[in-house]
Structure 1
Amino acid sequence: MSSVFGALRRRLLTPPISETTMEVRGFHVKNAEAKARLEYIGEVFLRGYAYAVEAASPAEAEELLENVPRDMRGFAYEGAGMGAAVYDSLPGHGGRLEGLLAGEGRHHDYMIYVGIGWAMARLPKPLWPDIRTTDPLLRWLALDGYGFHQAYFKTGAYVRTPETQHPFRWNGGHNHYTLNAIDQGIGRALWFVGGTDPEVVTDLIRAYPERRHGDLYAGAGLACAYAGGVSEDELARFAESAGRHRWALAQGSAFATEARVKAGTVIDHTHLAARVVCGTTAERASRVCRDTRPQAPGGGAAPAYETWRRDIAAELASDSLISKGADQ
C-alpha cells in the first residue's frame, strides 16, 4: 500500500483535474460526446500520474495501472511516465521510471516516453531525466510529449501565435531536429484544442508556416487514431484535407496503431483509423512500423527516428498505389 509520504507526494505534485476541462483550456467543443471523451482522457492521464507518484514501488504502480480499462490504459501509462520522471527528480528518489519500463510498462513504452516529455515541460532543466540513458530511437517521443504539453497548457504561445517557434536544446543529439519533434507533439495537441473536429484542426494547422505542416499533420494523425472521437466520414475528410501531407498524417496514425497493437489495447476505432487514414488494416499498419524500425540509431544528418517516420510514410503510400492498381 502507498505510504503517508506517497499520499503527500500525490497531493503536492499532481496537477488539479480542473486543468483538463475544455472550459478551463478554452478548447473548441464539437459536441458533448467528444467533449466527454477528451476530458475523460485527461482524467485518466492524471490518474496514471498519481499512481506513479504515490505508489510505494513500481510494482504497486503497475498493479494500479493494469486495472485501468483497457481502451484507456495507454493514457494512464502516459501519465505514469510523467509521474515516474517527476518522482525520480526528487531528492533521495530514483528508479521509478526504470522500474515502470521494466515491467508491464514495456508494452506501453511509446506512451511512457511521451510522458517523460510532460515532466520535462514541468521540471526545471537541471532536474530533467538524463535522456542519454534512454532508448536512442524512442527518446524523440519525449519531445512529442513536451510539444503536446506546451500547446495544451500554453495555447496562447504555441497555438494562437503559430508563426513563433520557441528555441529548445537538449542532450539527446540532433538539436537541429528538436523543433520538428516538438511540432509533432503540437500537432497531436491540436486534435484536443480543436475538439476532435477535423475542420477546426485543419484550420489550426494551416495557420502555421507551411514548412511545419508535415510534422503537425503527423502529430494530428497519431491523435485522431489513438484518441478517437471522430466518425469515418470525418476521418476521410481529414485525410483529404491534408493534401500533400496525406502520408505524414498516415504515418502518425500508423504509430498510434502500433502503440495499441503492442500494448494489446486495440479498439474498434483503431481498425477504422487504419483503414481510412493509413489505407490498410491495423495489422498491416503495425507491421510496417515494426519492419521499418531501424536496428541502430545511425549517425547521419537526420536522426534515425526521422528516417523511420519517412520510411513508414513511403511504405504506406506504396501500399496505397499497389492497392489502387489492383482495383483498376
Structure 2
Amino acid sequence: MTLSLSRLRRAVMGVSDAEATSFSRGDTPTWRHLETVVRTAVGGYHAVLDGSRFDDLIPRLDRTPVELRGYAYEGAAMGLTGLDCFLPGKSRLQAYLAGPGSPHIYMVHIGAGEALARLRRRPEVFMRRLTDPALRWLVMDGYGFHEGFFKPRRFVERQQVPVHLSPFARRVFDQGIGRSVWFTSGADADGISRAIAAFPAHRHADLWLGVGVACGYVGGVDRATVEALRAAAGRHASRMAVGTAFVAKGRLRAGNPIPDTDLACEVLCGISGRQAARLVDRAFEDLPDTPSAPAYDTLQRRLESSLAVAPSVTGDDT
C-alpha cells in the first residue's frame, strides 16, 4: 500500500493514542499494563489500515510478544471488519477467521464487534453471517466493550443500552461493559465493585461475568485483588468464574497462556487454567442453538454448572 493511502485510512478510521489512553489515570504498574494492552490492540488495528494482505499483515502481528499477541489479532479483526463495511466484496474477516486468525478466534470475534460499534453498525445483523452459533455472540461482547470503554459516561455512568438489541444481546452487551470497567477502573477491586453496584440489580450477573473475563485474560493484578473481587461479587462469583474459565480456553487455543490466567482460575474456579479449558471443551459438546435458548447462553449455563463441581470432575492436571 502506498504511504498516502495508509495515511488517508488512518486519518479517516484511525484511533489516536490520546483517545486510546484517555481512560488511564495513573502511573502504576497496573495502569501501564492496561495501557500496553490497549496500545497493542490499536496497533493491530492500524496494521490493517497500513496494509491488509495477510502475507504482509500476519508477520507484523506476530512480532508482538506472545502474551500480548491476542490483542494484536483482535485489533486486526477490528480493522478487517471496518474494511469489509467500507469495501464490499469477499469478506476479509471471514478469510481471517478461516485462516491465520483461527487460533485467536475468540479475540477475532471481539474485534469485529468493536469495529461495528465504532462504525455504528447493528451487530445482530452482522452476526447472522458468522457460522459458529456460540462464538458469534462474542461480537456482541466486543460491541459492549467498545461502548463502555470509549463512551463510559453514556454506557457506564448513565447505564444506557442500545434500543435495537434483542433481550439476550443486551445480556452479552453487559458482559462487554463489565470487561470495559476493568480498564476504566484501573482493575481496582473497590472501583469495579462501586461501578457495578450502581447498575440495576438484574444487570449485575452479566457485568460480573465480564469482569471475570478481564480478570482471566487481561490480568495485571495480584491474588489479593482477585480474592477481593470474588468477595465483592457475592452470589455472582460463579458468573465471574464462567468468564475466567472461558478465556482460559481461549488463551490455551491461541498458545499464549499467562500466569495471571492460572491465578484467576485458581481463585475463582478452584482449578487450573488447563482444567478450566477442559470444562469449556465439554460444555461445547453437542451444543444446541434455538431462538429461545441461544447456544452461547447454554454454553455459559453448562459451564457454570460444571464449575460448581469442578474439583470432582476434572481429574488430574495433565
Question: In structure 2, which of residues 160, 164, 173 is the aligned counterpart of residue 168 of structure 1?
Answer: 164
2:309 match: secondary structure: helix
1:125 match: secondary structure: coil
- Identity score, percent: 34
For 1:259, the equivalent position in structure 2 comes to: 250
**Root-mean-square deviation (CA), in Å?**
2.0
Q: CA deviation at 1:127?
A: 10
Q: CA deviation at 1:131?
A: 2.2
Flag structure 2 segments of 5+ consecutive residues without an equivalent: 314-318
Q: Deviations over 1:285-319 (max 9, x none)?
A: 01111111153542251211011011111111112
Q: CA deviation at 1:8?
A: 3.2
**Which residue identity does 2:77 align to in structure 1?**
G
- Cα pair distance change 1:152/1:124, threshold 3 Å: closer
Aligned equivalents of 2:223, 2:121: Cα separation in 1:
42
Flag structure 1 segments of 5+ consecutive residues without an equivalent: 170-174, 324-328
Q: Deviations over 1:120-146 (max 9, x none)?
A: 111143899732120221111011011
Question: In structure 1, which of residues 267, 284, 303 is the aligned counterpart of residue 275 of structure 2?
Answer: 284
The answer to whether the 8 Å contact 1:89/1:127 transfers is no
For 1:16, the equivalent position in structure 2 comes to: 16
The answer to whether the 8 Å contact 1:254/1:278 transfers is yes
Q: TM-score, normalised by structure 2?
A: 0.92
**Aligned residue pairs: how many?**
311
2:317 is equivalent to residue 315 of structure 1:
no
**Which residue identity does 1:275 align to in structure 2?**
E
Q: CA deviation at 1:224?
A: 1.0
For 1:39, the equivalent position in structure 2 comes to: 35
Question: In structure 1, which of residues 201, 206, 215 is the aligned counterpart of residue 197 of structure 2?
Answer: 206
2:201 is equivalent to residue 190 of structure 1:
no
For 2:316, the equivalent position in structure 1 comes to: none
The answer to whether the 8 Å contact 2:123/2:140 transfers is no
Q: How does 1:30-179 map to 2 (within 5 A)?
A: 32-91=28-87, 94-125=90-121, 130-134=126-130, 135-162=132-159, 164-169=160-165, 175-179=166-170
For 1:326, the equivalent position in structure 2 comes to: none
Q: CA deviation at 1:58?
A: 2.4
Deviation larger for 261-270 or 6-15: 6-15
2:19 match: secondary structure: helix
For 1:304, the equivalent position in structure 2 comes to: 295
- Cα pair distance change 1:49/1:297, threshold 3 Å: farther
The answer to whether the 8 Å contact 1:168/1:178 transfers is no
Q: CA deviation at 1:62?
A: 1.6
Q: TM-score, normalised by structure 1?
A: 0.89
**Which residue identity does 2:141 align to in structure 1?**
D
- Cα pair distance change 1:199/1:121, threshold 3 Å: same
